[in-house]
Structure 1
Amino acid sequence: MHTAQVEVGRSTLTIETGKLAKQADGAVTVRYGDTFVIVTACAAATAREGIDFLPLTVDYREYAYASGRIPGGFFKREGKPTEKEVLTSRLIDRPFRPLFPDGWTRETQIIALLLSADPENDSDVLALTGASAALAISSIPVAHPIAAVRVGLLDGAFVINPTYPERKQSDLDLIVAGSRAAIVMVEAGAREVREDVMLGALEAGHAAIRDIIDAIETMAAAVGKPKTDVAAKDVDAAVRQEIEAQALAPLADAMRVKDKLESYAQVDRALDDLLASIPDDDPDRRADAKVVFKDLKEKVLRDEVLDAGRRLDGRAFDQVRDISSDIGVLPRAHGSAVFTRGETQALVSATLGTADDQQKIELVDGETYKRFMLHYNFPPFSVGEVKFLRGPGRREIGHGHLAERSLAPMIPSEEEFPYTLRVVSDILESNGSSSMASVCGGALALMDAGVPMKRPVAGIAMGLILDEASGRHAILSDIAGAEDHYGDMDFKVAGTSEGITALQMDIKVSGITTEIMREALDQARAGRLHILEKMGVTISTPRESISTHAPRIVTIQIPVDKIRDVIGPGGKTIRSIIDRTGVKIDVEDDGRVNVASTDEESAQKAIAIIEELTASPELNKTYLGKVQRITDFGAFVEILPGIDGLLHVSEIAHYRVNEVRNELTEGDQVLVKVINVDPSGKVRLSRKALLPGGSSDNGDKGDGQPRRPDRRGGAPGGGSSRPPRQRGGNREPARR
């Protein structure tokens, strides 16, 4: 067993091997605080024939027992991967692909399992670091180890591996992975962070990574297995030269065609012409031709950019494709937009819902709810293909998460805008950067829906063509599909006019220097501002009102101690209000009550009931109450739901009342005035204060005779069958 420890942030990172999963090619455990993951790496014994891609699979799983929980549901066991598990699997996968050698076609699998989870430390960066350590000690031939850390920004200072509570307060949530020499992967969400601050965070994260790499290299030197040799098949130089001479010119002409589908068709014809010139009985030459032709595609792009100084479609390096947009395109959607940039087009809709529509998410440490969602769909017709329509794959989930993260900081709080929001981006055409088109279209659709966003958000995808030998490079703004596929970097940056809200970088080279990243961030900002300006022509501020088809939500505040009065025993009261008015009611723990309805009248009716249920007696205010109980010393009158006040016998009339039941009967409705509310909440009422002569304490009028109400009609005046008698002062009646 071998153990390596390194101080990372404010805790110790421990990597251990040789104790668990010893039959795996490489297996390590990684612990940080009480969060504990096991990561394994295995490869098949033989190569997979007939493929020209890296057959790498990464699976990350979280077990409920890691936090002492039993899974919900009927079967009480973990089900299909959650969104968090899918995103973490992608996070691990992305930085390792450039590290495998050309020609490695053995099935390779990395599995990371969360076995223990504390309430402070996330497992994603531990799993990525563990994958690097497992590969380093295995026989699988990766180029060099990498590691990952999370960087937060609290009170202007960078924090390495911030805790969950700290991340809620942080203006930045950055994951950076890198080798000793360079950064290889970035994933970030931010609250409008400036480019120079983001660059500083990347440098801080990279500095912390180097110590972890030292520990992994020490472990690999001590217990690592010999690496498997990879015999990459190479085409004979003379054969390669012949094929290049024949195919390069027609291929270059085909790739310069601006229309994507026409360009692809001409590229296919160039390959067909090349293969047609080779006899069918020479399969080796035909196979070599396909390999060289594929390499030539990359060569054409790189030569065009680095040597000719232009892009295949004729744009300048910092030029964004033509942009057009429109809003309100779907008549019944609450908000909608079409955003088109070059040959990439997104139809984006926004839907407003109530708190009942929030997404319930089961995490390893419990349940939570999500009120803003963005879902990304990529139908096959967007690229002119025929495929089965299935549920969202890892790519769709990842693109949707990035677009959601880009817009989330600009979504108003629930207190400001008590709606649940769902944005759906359907990609109708795609030629690169569809996730960033979803960001732009999402911002337009939300503003069309009347969502009071703090500022509009736009996104742009940056590319890189790099000659690692000479250092020559070119950074490309708004990359098209071919530039993404054959280039060296996919660097997506989203944000507002004030700063960055999301960042994602993947590369195909060994690493990116800080200077290149600085240049890319600056160029991305210029492109982002250009796109925001174009979007502003369509809509620059949110609509003043929401769609007539959206639910109306009215929010009122009630005292926390009144929540039980609105809910009622077993929810009886709130269900009664809903049945009577047809609204939806959501009561928050802080006393906020959201009433949702399709029409204003029903909402106001429900609010009136709730206000009545939660009202408190006000001094000197008149209420129409109901007599609940009569005693010798007065009557208890309900003036508000659940609130009784004492109508003392001396406050019933201006004359002396000897028998309360002669004046009032249980169930009578009577107008009373609140004359006192003591500190304990007891209420004293007066009826006589509302009767004629109420301004006089003894109720005497000018004739010196008391008046009593007419029992027949209840109106003030005479009507007694007994002779009136003079009362002096305001004596209390005798109690019996």
Structure 2
Amino acid sequence: MLGSRELVIETGKLAKLVSGSVTVRYGDTMLLVTAQGSTRPSTLDFLPLTVEFEERHYSVGRIPGSFQRREGRPGEKAILSARITDRQIRPLFPKGFRQETQVIITVVSADQENLPDVLGAVGASAALSISDIPWAGPTGCVRVGHIDGQFVINPTVKELENSKIDLVVAGTRDAVMMVEAGAQSVDEELLVSAIEFAHKEMQPLIALIEQIKAEVGKEKFEWNPPVDALAEIYPAFKEAALAAGLKDVLLTEGKKARAHALDELQSKLIAERVTDPEAEGAAELTALLQTAFGKAQKEELRRLIIEDDLRVDGRNSKQVRPIWIETTPLPRAHGSAIFTRGETQVLGTTTLGTGRDEILIDDLGTETGDKFLLHYNFPPYSTGEVKRMGGQSRREIGHGNLAKRAIRAILPEFEVFPYVIRVVGDVLESNGSSSMATVCAGCLSLMDAGVPIKAPVAGVAMGLVMEGEKYRVLTDILGSEDALGDMDFKVCGTSEGVTALQMDIKISGITPAVMREALAQAREGRLHILGKMAEAMPETRPELSKYSPRILTTKINPDKIGVIIGPGGKNVRELEAMGAQVTIEEDGTIRIFSADAAAAEAVLKRVQAQTYEAKVGDEFEGTVVKIAPFGAFVNLFQGQDGMLHISQISEQRIEKVEDVLAVGDKIRVKIAGVDDRGKLDLIRPELEGKIKPRAPRRG
């Protein structure tokens, strides 16, 4: 049992030719997970691991809606699910392992209650454990909710709607490896307790995978770690690099200036050892020395941090880089802000849209709409590089999702602020923590747009450098510190608590004590950043931009929706031709969107007139549209006439209606009665009490 339901892992029946294959079932959600590794090393200098998450529409009894009627490229949710697995298994491959490895997770049955993302991670752990691929697992992975004051393991989709947190945790027997969370401004101690709870609850799952491995696991294939060609030359080379001023060069101010100085020092050291670049073996020696220089850089940087509490930009471990902010830099955007922290800069923009702008999400056949969009863009110029530009990378999708979770928690309810909101974070400069700068820039742009957020939110990226028992937690890490460090721990939140969290570990895991320290230090950094944001924008702008659409809302009797739509949509098209968009919901809520406030008001009045339900006592300035022997028909508003009987026109008896009224006359009238067919009897209000009321008409 895992949580309140049984989790079943089965192997030996499906996909038997692959190195490791399991099925994982939880409720009626079932996944097939395979792991295959190549026994031949690649020529790449990194682990060529790929994780694919495949969603099959037959899992919910649907035929895909695409033109080809087959599944297409993985959607955003599938990519995020694949990243959850990748991030927990990658650190446990042996150092230097270069064989191509592929994990494929296929959702073959989905009950729409039990989420498949964490099950895919469990299946990957089991498949790798029983395969012949060298891997230091197993790991476990669970989701934790916090409902009515209690932690819940693997809550259902419906239960998550009432949860204060949505936390995914992966770990080994001894330590936590990966954390992903969205939350409603919860305090740090609650999150740490939830992570500890998750780690404890996953232990039976890890034990189960270990048991399966012991019974049916294959012997791991032999592989040869890369020969340490540096062993002989590295000590002397590092000593020479230090003597040549490596420390001072590393402390050069500015990312580009530092990189240039390092290139010059590297070239100098190599030129002293490769005197003839054209000689036999010179190219190989040059490449080896370049690797040695990179290793020396990393070791010296880590030493400076651990021993001297000194970072390359001169900060200590707890300092945040200098911040400057500009609001409303774009004259036409609904809201915009530039957030710069050190050499990381993001342009945040907010665009307000109508209900028609919400994104439709097809989650294995279940279509839902999302009224909040956040897009994170990381162009190559942000790092001073030239690269081919294509679609969004998995990294961009992951970073954007983290920022989206952080900001979603502070947005007003749709009923309070009925706009579809799109936030875009364009990274203009990047030297670490660009996703966290996106949270800050995005929040400021929302405030600039006049969105009534619940509280400002900011994000900060934390790092860790650990050498034996010694370690330092780093606040607001640089790109180089992300590369050389042992942890990337991103924390977002308001002054009250955390709204999003993401942690990736490059070592075998960290303890709750280190996690508490990192969260406490992150809170200090976050409050500092929120203070800087408050200086630039103390509060949300009281009014929307003049370029933002205006929204007017009214509610009508659902039975009258057809009147607004009209035959074949004729009436709603006429309304929109007046200069506004009109959306109609099933409960009778009508929203009118227009950048022209006068046009929106005109459409609203017309909608109210077309759907007005007459009430006795209501008065109108009407127009006589028809004369009959028995009275006059008066138009009250479009599509609604009432009858003013001849006996109710004047104090004196009149022979002909035409003696008093003519078509086109404006006349004040009052509704005296409504029959069961909806027909209206009118009187002249100034004659009430002076003439005898007319008996109501029969239906």
TM-score (normalised: structure 1)? 0.88
Aligned to 2:409, the other structure's residue is in SS state: helix
Report the counterpart of residue 281 of structure 1 in structure 2: 280
Report the counterpart of residue 346 of structure 1 in structure 2: 346
C-alpha contact (below 8 Å) 1:654/1:698 kept by paired residues: no
- RMSD between superposed Cα atoms in Å: 2.8
User: How far, CA to CA, are the matches of 1:571 and 1:677 in structure 2?
Assistant: 29
Deviation, structure 1 residue 732: 10
Report the counterpart of residue 491 of structure 1 in structure 2: 489
Report the counterpart of residue 509 of structure 2 in structure 1: 511
Report the counterpart of residue 37 of structure 2 in structure 1: 43
**1:209-245 deviation line (CA, Å, top 9, x unaligned):** 1111011111111111111223222236443322222
Q: Give 1:329-368 correspondences, 5 Å limit.
A: 329-368=329-368
Q: Does 1:261 align with 2:260?
A: no
- After TM superposition, the structure 1 stretch with the greater mean CA deviation from structure 2, 639-648 or 180-189, is 639-648
User: How far, CA to CA, are the matches of 1:23 and 1:635 in structure 2?
Assistant: 89
C-alpha contact (below 8 Å) 2:144/2:151 kept by paired residues: yes
Aligned to 1:534, the other structure's residue is in SS state: helix
User: How far, CA to CA, are the matches of 1:559 and 1:566 in structure 2?
Assistant: 11
Correspondence for 1:246 among 240, 249, 254: 240
Deviation, structure 1 residue 552: 1.7
C-alpha contact (below 8 Å) 2:681/2:696 kept by paired residues: no
C-alpha contact (below 8 Å) 1:433/1:460 kept by paired residues: yes
Deviation, structure 1 residue 274: 3.3
User: How far, CA to CA, are the matches of 2:393 and 2:232 in structure 1?
Assistant: 43
Report the counterpart of residue 727 of structure 1 in structure 2: none
Deviation, structure 1 residue 614: 1.8
Q: Does 1:24 align with 2:28?
A: no
Report the counterpart of residue 234 of structure 1 in structure 2: 228
Deviation, structure 1 residue 471: 2.0
Aligned to 1:414, the other structure's residue is in SS state: coil
Correspondence for 2:474 among 476, 479, 483: 476
Stretches of structure 2 lacking an aligned partner (at least 5 in a row): none
Q: Decide whether aligned partners of structure 1 residues 306 and 641 sit closer, same or farther in structure 2, where only a CA change above 3 A counts.
A: same
User: How far, CA to CA, are the matches of 1:625 and 1:129 in structure 2?
Assistant: 74
Q: Decide whether aligned partners of structure 1 residues 618 and 259 sit closer, same or farther in structure 2, where only a CA change above 3 A counts.
A: same
Report the counterpart of residue 422 of structure 1 in structure 2: 422
User: How far, CA to CA, are the matches of 2:195 and 2:301 in structure 1?
Assistant: 29
Report the counterpart of residue 171 of structure 1 in structure 2: 164
Deviation, structure 1 residue 335: 1.2
Larger Rg: 1
Correspondence for 1:685 among 657, 662, 681: 681
Deviation, structure 1 residue 445: 1.1
Q: Give 1:299-338 correspondences, 5 Å limit.
A: 299-338=299-338
User: How far, CA to CA, are the matches of 2:565 and 2:36 in structure 1?
Assistant: 56
Q: Give 1:393-408 correspondences, 5 Å limit.
A: 393-408=393-408
User: How far, CA to CA, are the matches of 2:428 and 2:686 in structure 1?
Assistant: 75
Correspondence for 1:130 among 123, 132, 157: 123
C-alpha contact (below 8 Å) 2:39/2:223 kept by paired residues: no
User: How far, CA to CA, are the matches of 2:240 and 2:33 in structure 1?
Assistant: 48
Q: Does 1:595 align with 2:589?
A: no
- After TM superposition, the structure 1 stretch with the greater mean CA deviation from structure 2, 137-146 or 590-599, is 590-599
1:448 aligned partner, one-letter code: D
User: How far, CA to CA, are the matches of 2:692 and 2:185 in structure 1?
Assistant: 71
1:19 aligned partner, one-letter code: K
User: How far, CA to CA, are the matches of 1:236 and 1:422 in structure 2?
Assistant: 51
User: How far, CA to CA, are the matches of 1:147 and 1:732 in structure 2?
Assistant: 77
1:270 aligned partner, one-letter code: L
User: How far, CA to CA, are the matches of 2:207 and 2:2 in structure 1?
Assistant: 12
**1:406-457 deviation line (CA, Å, top 9, x unaligned):** 1111111221112221111111111110100111111111111111111111
User: How far, CA to CA, are the matches of 2:658 and 2:24 in structure 1?
Assistant: 81
Q: Does 1:209 align with 2:202?
A: yes
Q: Decide whether aligned partners of structure 1 residues 428 and 23 sit closer, same or farther in structure 2, where only a CA change above 3 A counts.
A: same
Report the counterpart of residue 384 of structure 2 in structure 1: 384
Report the counterpart of residue 54 of structure 1 in structure 2: 47
User: How far, CA to CA, are the matches of 2:369 and 2:378 in structure 1?
Assistant: 26
Q: Decide whether aligned partners of structure 1 residues 601 and 38 sit closer, same or farther in structure 2, where only a CA change above 3 A counts.
A: same
1:561 aligned partner, one-letter code: D
User: How far, CA to CA, are the matches of 2:123 and 2:695 in structure 1?
Assistant: 88
**1:127-179 deviation line (CA, Å, top 9, x unaligned):** 01111111101111111211111111112211111111111221111111111
User: How far, CA to CA, are the matches of 1:27 and 1:637 in structure 2?
Assistant: 79
Deviation, structure 1 residue 584: 0.7
Aligned to 2:315, the other structure's residue is in SS state: coil
Q: Does 1:585 align with 2:585?
A: no
1:538 aligned partner, one-letter code: A
Report the counterpart of residue 570 of structure 1 in structure 2: 568
Correspondence for 2:3 among 9, 23, 35: 9
**1:385-422 deviation line (CA, Å, top 9, x unaligned):** 11122222111111111111111111112211122211
Aligned to 1:60, the other structure's residue is in SS state: strand
Aligned to 2:113, the other structure's residue is in SS state: coil
C-alpha contact (below 8 Å) 1:551/1:598 kept by paired residues: yes
Q: Decide whether aligned partners of structure 1 residues 10 and 676 sit closer, same or farther in structure 2, where only a CA change above 3 A counts.
A: same
Aligned to 1:107, the other structure's residue is in SS state: strand
User: How far, CA to CA, are the matches of 1:559 and 1:628 in structure 2?
Assistant: 29
User: How far, CA to CA, are the matches of 2:484 and 2:76 in structure 1?
Assistant: 29
- After TM superposition, the structure 1 stretch with the greater mean CA deviation from structure 2, 59-68 or 195-204, is 59-68
1:686 aligned partner, one-letter code: L
Deviation, structure 1 residue 550: 1.6
Correspondence for 2:604 among 600, 607, 623: 607
Correspondence for 2:77 among 78, 84, 88: 84
User: How far, CA to CA, are the matches of 1:223 and 1:238 in structure 2?
Assistant: 42
User: How far, CA to CA, are the matches of 1:664 and 1:75 in structure 2?
Assistant: 68
User: How far, CA to CA, are the matches of 2:334 and 2:242 in structure 1?
Assistant: 51
Q: Give 1:660-679 correspondences, 5 Å limit.
A: 672-677=669-674
Aligned to 1:337, the other structure's residue is in SS state: strand
User: How far, CA to CA, are the matches of 2:695 and 2:168 in structure 1?
Assistant: 81
Correspondence for 2:690 among 672, 689, 696: 696
Report the counterpart of residue 143 of structure 2 in structure 1: 150
Deviation, structure 1 residue 73: 3.0
C-alpha contact (below 8 Å) 2:443/2:457 kept by paired residues: yes
User: How far, CA to CA, are the matches of 1:225 and 1:509 in structure 2?
Assistant: 25
C-alpha contact (below 8 Å) 1:305/1:465 kept by paired residues: yes
1:433 aligned partner, one-letter code: S
Stretches of structure 1 lacking an aligned partner (at least 5 in a row): 1-6, 700-729
C-alpha contact (below 8 Å) 2:487/2:506 kept by paired residues: yes
1:100 aligned partner, one-letter code: F
Report the counterpart of residue 141 of structure 1 in structure 2: 134
**1:574-601 deviation line (CA, Å, top 9, x unaligned):** 112112x121111223332221112111
C-alpha contact (below 8 Å) 2:673/2:696 kept by paired residues: no
Report the counterpart of residue 545 of structure 1 in structure 2: 543
> Between the two proteins, what is the percent identity of the paired residues?
47
- After TM superposition, the structure 1 stretch with the greater mean CA deviation from structure 2, 401-410 or 530-539, is 401-410
- After TM superposition, the structure 1 stretch with the greater mean CA deviation from structure 2, 454-463 or 232-241, is 232-241
Aligned to 1:46, the other structure's residue is in SS state: strand
User: How far, CA to CA, are the matches of 2:297 and 2:125 in structure 1?
Assistant: 32
User: How far, CA to CA, are the matches of 1:397 and 1:626 in structure 2?
Assistant: 63
Aligned to 2:202, the other structure's residue is in SS state: helix
Report the counterpart of residue 712 of structure 1 in structure 2: none
Q: Decide whether aligned partners of structure 1 residues 173 and 697 sit closer, same or farther in structure 2, where only a CA change above 3 A counts.
A: same
Q: Decide whether aligned partners of structure 1 residues 387 and 685 sit closer, same or farther in structure 2, where only a CA change above 3 A counts.
A: same
User: How far, CA to CA, are the matches of 1:81 and 1:384 in structure 2?
Assistant: 30
Deviation, structure 1 residue 19: 0.9
C-alpha contact (below 8 Å) 1:254/1:264 kept by paired residues: no
Report the counterpart of residue 62 of structure 2 in structure 1: 69
Aligned to 2:177, the other structure's residue is in SS state: strand
Q: Decide whether aligned partners of structure 1 residues 130 and 189 sit closer, same or farther in structure 2, where only a CA change above 3 A counts.
A: same
Deviation, structure 1 residue 384: 1.1
C-alpha contact (below 8 Å) 1:350/1:442 kept by paired residues: yes
Report the counterpart of residue 560 of structure 1 in structure 2: 558
Q: Decide whether aligned partners of structure 1 residues 681 and 258 sit closer, same or farther in structure 2, where only a CA change above 3 A counts.
A: farther
Q: Decide whether aligned partners of structure 1 residues 162 and 658 sit closer, same or farther in structure 2, where only a CA change above 3 A counts.
A: farther
Deviation, structure 1 residue 261: 1.3
